């Protein structure tokens, strides 16, 4: 007896968003990355196949926290402090499809770096890699509002994904992205309603809904993963049901979040039964990220090269399985 | 030895205190209403005073950094002390009255603001709870030698068919004199309560006029009293004052907590009782009515207010399984309750449903007439507890969700209740500025609920406010204030106080939360009942907003569901209106009891859907435009 697969069709469709611009499109990227465009939930054999697979971005920081885990330092220690080299290594050695550049140093509590310095960092990374850029601020609202317009202007036409816009601080970022042709990364605190409200606020400023990527909060394995998973799933279902304010591709910062977990970074010496942190850390990161794939994540931002490789394998396997049905 | 004295300036009011008492309590005893949102726990920092002479013992955390001010709630009296109370530390910048002030300027309120529904009294036949029965008693003779009491009972049975007379001992004590002085022509003042007739008073002569009653809404935030002529049903006057319990916390939960502290329950009882006595006394004086002629009172309020007013321990109300001492109290005599009217006056409290749905809601339903029609209707009480009732003649279901006092003006910088001088209409002028009008037409003293609704809607329509409730820094009338952006509603030159009347970002956030709680309650209740909001044929809105409420604007900000405006009826203060109906009609009183019995309470605080509904409602008008098609169209949005 054969099992008849349930096939589901949806009235709505997820927006297709292209990050990066080639020379002919007004930028300098060798290639662009397109995400979204889904007409069904991810990886379901028989449902409408997705035109765009999820992608793996790797995170590069202009300043690394002092207590950065050894497991990451051992992989990336040689490029710490040199964002352009770090980005190049991620693309060339680890196959990153996008670079997610986090500008920590302008934060008043870090280095209080000037907007000029931030612009210089962004330029150096742009020159070092051919892939599109995601650019994140330091999280200090006033400082971000100084840095964003400068960075947006310096990268005009590159169609970077810039973030994060929050309900408390979105206007300057949106205006900058509107003016200089970038995309907005909109972050909510793991809440479907607030995510939608933010999309409304952002689009009310005149940016079209296909220039937004959603970041529905931060969670990792053991630290709210299920919560974020269910919110992402609800966002995606709402989008497929036709809610245009929730029909955007989604991004997760799984690398950053996973390495906050003590289970990811505690040395084996401190907890022998947990085994080697060199394997445990990347595994924590990979499990977090691949879980979100099932909820509809389109862009996974990862840190450890092994986690990135594992996520890419998962994407390939899941996509192949869905396609064979 | 008398205790230390505390003098408050600039009021020059002195009280004798006990050593160790806090300045906050002393201020209260002196009739000075200090602002205290946290209930005297040293958290809110609003009760700042300055010692002018003498000393107070200041507990840790009681000194305000960078100034000479101390927190009254954390400062204990150790000896004679004089303190200065700055304007900002006072509740609403006005004095609240104590019984000591005989000619106190209590706040008269316009009839409509108090919930005087023109047709409300007409809904029930007039048959007051306390009524007068003139009697012509045969003089005793050697052949008709019944006792005074038997003579009275016999006549009452004959003249009024009354079989179940109860005569309190001290009324009986006065009877022989009254009967003989009046030559056996007397009027029995009778109350029909607790399943019997009680003799409230025996008056000489056969005049049935000159009997009065009080209808009182004992709200968490505001107390409203009406003085009513029981013979004609006419309302002589209405007055309102802040519920002085507010000094011990804004909401019922903090009051219940305070009641558990030593002396707390007595303080809370005295506070509500004191305000009610001042209001009734002030009305009586203003209308030339003797307190002794006020022979009945019907009060309405939530179950916590009922407990505090009667001095009943409310602790179990907030503990699972939420059991009140009473929800449908019997009638008591004014003397026992502490109400300063005729000692024997009947004091009845509108029957309530549960710990979280009280007699104020029964009164609302009565005033709206929901229980008498086949129409499926919804009642929304935009008060501190945000109750919603759905139903008709056959069923009534209600819920409550803490909305806070924002629409009564509480927690809003320039908020005030609906009283003379309150801004209640606001419009954006073609020039981009704001125009307004006040209740009574005088200089603005603050903004009442309907003014706040108008203001939010107008700011939103003019795009001075985004849909998350954030002011646009570049909009006209918006400026940077001491605590972020604020909108200037009335410039200093035109206000009563000579200061700018503003709406701050924090005020807007409070209003947004309040309206979200109210909407979420009603929305979730209908969802759980499987009713589509579009099937509701009538929506009654109760609350002390003002003398009017612009329904379209209330919908535009998402306070009320987006139904055609003609389906919405604003009934004002339904609580006092319902209490008055019950005071004037035994039939209405019986209906109130049936309403309370029929009403099912649906607990929303444990419903997992509530937070979801609430968060989606903290947006203007709502996150989901499909639920507010007309409002969103007016804003030019279709998300």
Give the separation between CA A212 and CA A209, rounded to whole angstroms.
6
Task: Please list the residues that pair with B49 across neighbouring strands.
Answer: B70
CATH of the domain at A266: 3.20.20.20
Q: Are B411 and B510 in contact (CB under 8 A)?
A: yes
Instruction: Mark yes or no for CB contact A200/B616 under 8 Å.
Output: no
Asked whether residue A37 is domain-assigned, the answer is no
Average pLDDT over residues B608-615: 92
Residue numbers in A near B485 (CB within 8 A): none
Is the pLDDT at B526 greater than 70? The verdict is: yes
Per-residue confidence band for B33, with pLDDT thresholds at 50, 70 and 90: low
Check if B130-204 and B359-405+512-634 are the same fold.
no
pLDDT at residue number B113:
44
What lies within 8 Å, CB to CB, of B62 at 6+ separation is B42, B70, B71, B73, B74, B75
ipTM: 0.79
Q: What is the pLDDT of residue A89?
A: 97
Residue B174 in contact with residue B219, Cβ under 8 Å?
no
A10 within a domain of the structure (yes/no): no
* Alpha-carbon distance B618 to nearest alpha carbon in chain A (angstroms): 9
Smallest Cα–Cα separation from B61: which of B38, B86, B79? B38
CA distance B398 to B388: 5
Alpha-carbon gap, residue B208 to B231, rounded angstroms: 7
Mean per-residue pLDDT, B617-622: 95
Contact B218, B307 (CB under 8 A): no
Residues of chain A with pLDDT under 50: none
Closest residue, chain B, to A198 (C-alpha):
B468
Residue carrying structure tokens 């007051």: B128
**pLDDT digit string (tens) for B229-265?**
998 888 888 887 778 888 788 788 899 999 999 999 9
Name every chain A residue with its beta carbon within 8 A of the beta carbon of B624.
196
3-state SS class at B15: strand
B269-283: average pLDDT: 88
pLDDT grade for B96, boundaries at 50, 70 and 90: very low
Separation between Cα atoms, residue A156 and residue B595, nearest integer Å:
67
Lowest average pLDDT, out of A172-186, B198-212, B271-285, B511-525, goes to B271-285
For residue A29, is it within any domain?
A: no
Distance CA(A272)–CA(A81), nearest Å, equals 32
| Measured CA distances, B265 to B256, B312, B314, B605 (Å) | 8, 8, 9, 26
Residue B92 has pLDDT above 60, yes or no: no
| Tokens found for residue B120 | 């409300």
With contacts defined as CB-CB under 8 Å, which chain B residues touch A167? 468
Measure CB to CB from residue A167 to each of B468, B624, B637 and give the nearest one: B468
> Which chain B residue has the Cα nearest residue A246?
B639
Q: Which residues of B199-225 are buried (b: 16+ CB within 10 A; e: fewer)?
A: bbbbbbeeeeebbbbbbbbbbbbbbbb
Put simply, the answer to whether B467 touches A244 (Cβ < 8 Å) is no
pLDDT at B639: 58
- pLDDT score for B265: 96
Residue A132, domain member (yes or no): yes
Which residues of chain A have a CB within 8 Å of the CB of B618? 193
CB B467 within 8 A of CB B458: no
- pLDDT at position A111 is 94
- Report whether CATH 3.10.20.880 matches the domain B130-204: yes
Cβ atoms of A15 and A210 closer than 8 Å: yes
CB B442 within 8 A of CB B497: no
pLDDT > 90: what percent of chain B?
A: 57
Integer Cα distance of B576 and B360 in angstroms? 8
A193·B623 Cβ contact <8 A: yes
Structure tokens given for B68: 């000479």
On the question of pLDDT at B104 being above 70, the answer is no
Which of A21-25, A82-86, B549-553, B557-561 comes out lowest in average pLDDT? Answer: B549-553
Q: What is the mean pLDDT of residues B377-400?
A: 91
For position B17, what pLDDT does the model report? Answer: 81
What is the number of structural domains in chain A?
Answer: 1
Question: Would you place residue B203 in the very low, low, confident or very high pLDDT band (cuts 50, 70, 90)?
Answer: very high
Q: What's the confidence (pLDDT) of residue B199?
A: 95
Chain A residues lying within 8 Å of B632, measured CB to CB = none
Say which residue, B533 or B136, is predicted with more confidence: B136
| Residue in B with minimal Cα distance to A238 | B624
Contact A193 B639 (CB under 8 A): no
Residues of A in contact with B508 (CB under 8 A): none
CB contacts, 8 Å: A200 with chain B: 467, 619, 623, 637, 639
Q: What is the mean pLDDT of residues B369-395?
A: 91
Closest residue of chain B to A244, computed from CA coordinates: B639
**A–B interface: beta-carbon pairs under 8 A:** 31
pLDDT of B522 higher than 80:
yes
Enumerate residues 6+ apart whose C-beta is below 8 A from B502.
B413, B414, B481, B486, B487, B488, B489
Q: Hey, what CATH topology would domain B5-91 get?
A: Ubiquitin-like (UB roll) (3.10.20)
Beta-strand relationship, A16-19 and A33-36: antiparallel
The token pair that represents A293 in the structure block: 């794939």
Q: Distance from A42 to chain B by nearest Cα, in Å?
A: 25
Whether cis (ω within 30° of 0) applies to the bond prior to B621 is yes
- Residues of chain B with Cβ-Cβ distance to A212 below 8 Å are none
H-run or E-run covering B84: strand B75-84
Asked whether the bond before A235 is cis by omega within 30 degrees of 0, the reply is no
Question: Which pLDDT value is given to residue B20?
Answer: 83
pLDDT for res B110: 45
Q: Which of B466, B615, B623 sits opposite A204 (nearest CB)?
A: B466
Looking only at the bridges linking them, the beta strands covering B235-242 and B222-229 are antiparallel
Q: Which residues in chain B have their CB less than 8 angstroms from residue A145's CB?
A: none
Whether residue A236 lies inside any domain: the answer is yes
* Least Cα separation, residue B608 to chain A (angstroms): 14
Domain covering B215-349: architecture:
2-Layer Sandwich (3.30)
Closest of B276, B275, B301 to residue B363, by C-alpha: B301
Q: Closest approach of chain B CAs to the CA of A295, in angstroms? A: 20
Q: How far is CA A274 from CA A72, A111, A281, A287, B130, in A?
A: 18, 36, 11, 16, 80
Q: What is the pLDDT of residues B310-349, one digit of tens each?
A: 999 999 998 988 899 999 999 999 999 999 999 999 999 9
Distance CA B505, CA A93 (A): 50
Per-residue pLDDT, B31: 65
- What residue spans of B263-377 are helical by DSSP H? 264-286, 303-310, 334-337, 359-368
Give the range of the structural domain holding residue A223, as residue numbers without chain letter: 43-324
Instruction: Tell me if A200 and B619 make a contact (CB, 8 A cut-off).
Output: yes
Residue A31 lies in a domain: no
Is A181 part of a structural domain of the chain?
yes
Binary contact (B639, A200; C-beta < 8 A): yes
Whether A241 is in a domain gets the answer: yes
- The chain B residues in contact with chain A (CB within 8 A) are 466-468, 612, 615-616, 618-619, 623-624, 637, 639
Q: Where are the domains of chain B?
A: 5-91, 130-204, 215-349, 359-405+512-634, 419-504
CA distance B506 to chain A (A): 13
State which H helix or E strand residue B589 sits in. Answer: helix B586-598
Residues on chain A bordering chain B, Cβ-to-Cβ distance under 8 angstroms: 167, 191, 193-194, 196-197, 200-201, 204, 243-245
pLDDT at B100: 26
For residue A4, the model assigns a pLDDT of 83
**Interchain proximity A201–B616, CB inside 8 Å:** no
Confidence (pLDDT) at B313: 97
Q: Which string of b and e fits A61-89 if b means at least 16 CB within 10 Å?
A: bbbbeeebbebbeebbeebeeebbbbbbb
For residue B126, is the peptide bond before it cis, meaning its omega torsion is within 30 degrees of 0? Answer: no
Q: Kindly report the nearest CA distance between residue A192 and chain B, in angstroms.
A: 9
Q: How confident is the model at residue B1 (pLDDT cuts 50, 70, 90)?
A: low
Residue-wise pLDDT for B109-121, tens only, equals 444 444 444 444 4
Measured in angstroms, the CA of B632 and the nearest CA of chain A are apart by 12
Mutating which of A174, A189, A193, A239 best tests the B interface, going by the most B Cβ atoms within 10 A? A193
Among the partner-chain residues B466, B623, B637, the one whose CB lies closest to the CB of A196 is B623
Pick from B80-89, B90-99, B400-409, B478-487 the range whose average pLDDT is largest.
Answer: B478-487
SS3 letters for B172-226? Answer: HHHHHHHHHHCCCEEEEEEEEECCEEEEEEEEECCCCCCCEEEEEEECCCEEEEE
CB contact under 8 A, B623 and A167: no
Kindly determine whether residue B467 and residue A201, on different chains, have CB atoms separated by under 8 Å: yes
Query: Is A200 in contact with B467 (Cβ distance < 8 A)?
Result: yes
Residue contact B615–A191, C-beta within 8 A:
yes
Q: Which residues of A fall within a CB distance of 8 Å from B619?
A: 193, 197, 200
A314, HSE (Cβ side, Cα atoms, 13 Å)? 22
Chain B's closest residue to A193, CA to CA, is B616
HSE, side-chain direction, 13 A CA sphere, residue A305 = 15
Secondary structure letter of residue B408 according to DSSP: G
pLDDT number for residue A104: 96
CATH of domain B359-405+512-634: 3.30.420
Q: What is the mean pLDDT of chain B?
A: 87
**Residue B5 in this model has a pLDDT that exceeds 80:** yes
Q: What is the pLDDT of residue B118?
A: 44
Measured between beta carbons, which residues in chain A are less than 8 angstroms from residue B639? 196, 200, 243-245
Q: Search chain A and give the residue with CA nearest B623.
A: A197
User: Comparing C-alpha atoms, which of B235, B236, B214, B233 is closest to residue B225?
Assistant: B214
* B94, pLDDT greater than 50: no
- Residue to substitute from B466, B484, B636, B637, interface A, most A β-carbons within 10 A: B466
Q: Which of A197, A244, A245 comes nearest B468 by C-beta?
A: A197
């Amino acid at each position: 007896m054969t099992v008849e697969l349930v096939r589901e069709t949806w009235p709505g469709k997820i927006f297709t968003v292209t990050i990066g611009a080639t020379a002919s499109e007004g930028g300098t990227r060798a290639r662009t990355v397109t995400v979204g465009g889904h007409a069904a939930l991810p990886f379901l054999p028989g449902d409408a196949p997705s035109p765009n697979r999820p992608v793996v971005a790797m995170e590069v920081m202009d300043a690394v926290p002092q207590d950065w885990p050894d497991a990451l330092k051992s992989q990336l220690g040689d490029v710490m402090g040199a964002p352009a080299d770090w980005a190049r290594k991620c693309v060339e050695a680890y196959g990153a499809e996008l670079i997610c550049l986090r500008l920590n140093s302008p934060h008043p509590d870090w280095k209080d770096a000037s907007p000029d310095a931030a612009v210089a960092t962004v330029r150096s990374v742009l020159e070092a890699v051919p892939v599109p850029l995601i650019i994140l601020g330091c999280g200090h609202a006033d400082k971000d509002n100084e840095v964003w317009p400068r960075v947006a202007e310096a990268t005009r036409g590159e169609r970077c994904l810039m973030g994060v816009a929050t309900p408390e601080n979105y206007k300057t970022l949106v205006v900058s992205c509107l003016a200089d042709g970038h995309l907005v990364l909109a972050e909510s605190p793991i809440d479907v309603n607030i995510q939608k409200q933010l999309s409304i606020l952002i689009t009310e400023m005149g940016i079209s809904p296909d220039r937004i990527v959603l970041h529905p909060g931060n969670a990792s394995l053991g630290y709210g993963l299920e919560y974020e998973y269910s919110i992402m799933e609800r966002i995606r279902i709402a989008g497929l049901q036709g809610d245009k304010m929730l029909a955007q591709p989604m991004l997760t910062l799984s690398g950053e979040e996973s390495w906050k977990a003590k289970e990811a970074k505690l040395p084996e010496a401190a907890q022998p039964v947990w085994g080697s942190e060199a394997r445990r850390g990347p595994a924590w990161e990979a499990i977090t990220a691949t879980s979100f794939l099932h909820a509809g994540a389109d862009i996974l931002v990862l840190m450890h090269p092994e986690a990135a490789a594992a996520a890419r394998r998962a994407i390939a396997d899941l996509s192949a399985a869905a396609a064979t049905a | 030895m008398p205790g230390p004295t505390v003098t408050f300036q600039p009021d020059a009011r002195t009280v004798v205190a006990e050593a160790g008492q806090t300045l906050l309590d002393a201020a209260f005893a002196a009739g000075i209403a200090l602002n205290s949102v946290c209930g005297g726990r040293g958290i809110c920092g609003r009760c700042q005073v300055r010692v002018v002479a003498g000393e107070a013992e200041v507990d840790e955390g009681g000194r305000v950094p960078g100034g000479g001010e101390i927190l009254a709630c954390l400062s204990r009296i150790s000896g004679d002390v004089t303190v200065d109370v700055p304007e900002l530390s006072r509740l609403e910048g006005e004095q609240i009255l104590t019984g000591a002030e005989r000619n106190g300027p209590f706040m008269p309120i316009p009839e409509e603001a108090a919930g005087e529904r023109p047709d409300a009294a007409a809904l029930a036949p007039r048959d007051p709870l306390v009524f007068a029965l003139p009697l012509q008693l045969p003089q005793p003779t050697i052949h008709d030698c019944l006792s005074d009491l038997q003579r009275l009972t016999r006549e009452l049975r004959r003249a009024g068919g009354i079989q179940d007379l109860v005569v309190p001992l001290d009324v009986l004590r006065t009877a022989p004199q009254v009967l003989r002085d009046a030559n056996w022509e007397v009027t029995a003042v009778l109350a029909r309560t607790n399943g019997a007739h009680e003799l409230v008073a025996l008056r000489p002569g056969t005049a049935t006029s000159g009997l009065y009653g009080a209808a009182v809404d004992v709200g968490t935030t505001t107390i409203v009293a009406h003085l009513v002529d029981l013979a004609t049903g006419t309302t002589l006057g209405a007055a309102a004052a802040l519920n002085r319990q507010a000094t011990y916390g804004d909401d019922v939960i903090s009051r219940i907590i305070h009641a558990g502290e030593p002396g707390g329950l007595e303080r809370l009882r005295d506070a509500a009782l004191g305000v009610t006595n001042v209001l009734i006394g002030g009305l009586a004086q203003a209308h030339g009515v003797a307190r002794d002629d006020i022979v009945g009172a019907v009060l309405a309020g939530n179950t916590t207010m009922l407990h505090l007013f009667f001095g009943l321990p409310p602790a179990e109300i907030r503990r699972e399984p939420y059991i009140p001492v009473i929800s449908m109290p019997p009638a008591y005599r004014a003397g026992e309750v502490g109400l300063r009217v005729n000692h024997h006056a009947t004091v009845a409290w509108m029957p309530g449903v549960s710990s979280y749905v009280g007699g104020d809601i029964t009164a609302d339903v009565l005033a709206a007439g929901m229980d008498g029609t086949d129409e499926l209707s919804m009642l929304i009480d935009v008060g501190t507890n945000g109750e919603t009732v759905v139903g008709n003649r056959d069923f009534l279901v209600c819920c409550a969700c803490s909305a806070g006092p924002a629409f009564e003006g509480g927690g809003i910088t320039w908020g005030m209740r609906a009283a003379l001088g309150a801004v209640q209409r606001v419009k954006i002028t073609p020039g981009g500025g704001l125009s307004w009008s006040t209740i009574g037409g005088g200089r603005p003293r603050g903004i009442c609920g309907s003014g706040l609704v108008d203001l939010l809607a107008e700011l939103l329509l003019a795009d001075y406010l985004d849909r998350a409730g954030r002011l646009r820094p570049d909009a006209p009338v918006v400026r940077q204030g001491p605590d972020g952006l604020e909108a200037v509603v009335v410039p200093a030159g035109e206000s009563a106080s000579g200061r700018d009347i503003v709406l701050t970002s924090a005020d807007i956030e409070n209003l947004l939360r309040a309206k979200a709680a109210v909407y979420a309650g009603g929305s979730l209740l209908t969802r759980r009942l499987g009713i589509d909001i579009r099937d509701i044929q009538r929506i009654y809105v109760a609350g002390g907003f003002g003398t009017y409420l612009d329904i379209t604007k209330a919908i535009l900000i998402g306070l009320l569901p987006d139904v055609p405006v003609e389906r919405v009826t604003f009934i004002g203060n339904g609580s006092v209106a319902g209490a008055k109906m019950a005071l004037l009609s035994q039939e209405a009183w019986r209906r109130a009891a049936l309403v309370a019995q029929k009403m099912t309470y649906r607990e929303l605080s444990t419903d997992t859907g509530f937070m979801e509904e609430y968060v989606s409602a903290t947006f203007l008008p709502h996150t989901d435009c499909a639920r507010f098609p007309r409002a969103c169209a007016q804003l030019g949005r279709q998300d």
